[in-house]
A = this chain, B = another copy of it.
Amino acid sequence: MTTSATRAERHPSPRKRADTGAARPHDPDEIGLDALVGHAGYAVRRFQIWIFQDFIKTLGAVDIRPTQYSVLTVIGANPGLSQMAVAKRLGIERARLVHLLDSLEQRKLVRRIKSKTDRRSHALHLTAPGETALAKFKTLAAEHERHVEAKIGKENRERLLEILAGFT
């Protein structure tokens, strides 16, 4: 096969002339994505960026990022977990969780309590203010979720959750 045929086949160019170096103006809307439109990863990446930005913005007043929220939620629902258990459950590196907990502990939302049964590990708990703060975070997170609904539609969001349920 000829090497140069590839692009010509896929893109019957609007202009046939070889305009190398022309830098013709492009209408942003007419730039084709080509093979990218068939890739789930591309759409998912763009969507994930959008959704995180909205989350960060919606929870901006309380300065909580998505990862922090996930850690607090899991600890709140399962008090006494070790760092390893939380890291495994959320797919976070245990090395990374150390810094996350440092920050959350400084903010008095979480406590690392030395375990009596295994002196290597820490039992993670929310503080009293951490509990009330998390309740507030959940309210804001629910608001963020409504933004998602508004963006892709209520039923589409539910379909999405079903499709991706296996990755939780």
Contacts and interface: CB of A to CB of B under 8 A. Distances in A.
B24 A80 contact: yes
Secondary structure dominating the interface of A: helix
A49 B28 CA distance: 29
Q: Which of A3, A28, A148 has the most CB of B within 10 A?
A: A3
Given A20-B125, A116-B21, A166 B152 contact: yes
Interface string A79-121: 1111001001101000000000000000000000111111001
A139 B38 CA distance: 13
Interface in A1-45: 3-4, 6-7, 10-11, 19-24, 26, 28, 31-45
Contact of A80 (B22, B128, B152): B22
A29 to B, nearest CB: 9
Chain copies in complex: 2
A138 B45 CA distance: 18
Contacts of A91: 46, 49
Interface string A129-148: 00110110010010011001
B123 A22 contact: yes
Interface size on A, as a range, is: 35 or more
Contacts of A135: 6
B23 A77 contact: no
A48 B43 CA distance: 10
A138 B79 contact: no
B38 A167 contact: no
